[in-house]
Amino acid sequence: QVQLVESGGGLVPAGGSLRLSCAASGRLFSIYAMRWYRQAPGEQREMVARMTRDGITNVADSVKGRFTISGNISHIDLQMNNLKPEDTAVYYCKAFATARDNWGQGTQVTVSP
């Protein structure tokens, strides 16, 4: 079992920055990838950024140039710059593990116009 705890959400004006963190605990050896997702009200959950155990990273086209994922398989951060109102969503961390996938509880990000 893997437990995930996200932090760092909040309210910022457009153009501002936030840094989200996701800390994993438990069976860390079983994790082979970590991802950040977000879900806006009335929308489907979408992948924002991902990292493999080998440190290979990738971000979605919608946030490329503004969001950066960093860290390692037990702790990942999402640096979000030049935030836009359309970035408003609940952000979730997900760990892909050999036994089962695990979600964090989510952290709210609200960007005011």
What percentage of the chain exceeds 70 in pLDDT? 100
Place of tokens 């990000």: 109
Q: Give the C-alpha separation, 25 to 93, whole Å.
A: 13
DSSP lists the bridge partners of residue 34 as 51, 95
Amino acid symbol at 112: S
What pLDDT band is residue 47 in, cutting at 50, 70 and 90?
A: very high
- 73 falls in which pLDDT band (50, 70, 90)? confident
What is the bridge-based pairing of β-strands 107-112 and 102-103?
A: unpaired
Quick: pLDDT tens for 18-31: 999 999 999 999 99
**Which residues have CB under 8 Å from 13's CB, separation 6+?**
111, 112
Task: Give the pLDDT of residue 54.
Answer: 93
Find the distance separating the first CA and the last CA of the chain, reported in whole Å: 40
Give the contacts of 105 (CB within 8 A, at least 6 positions apart). Answer: 4, 5, 6, 92
pLDDT digits (tens, 9 = 90+) for 88-107: 999 999 999 988 999 999 99
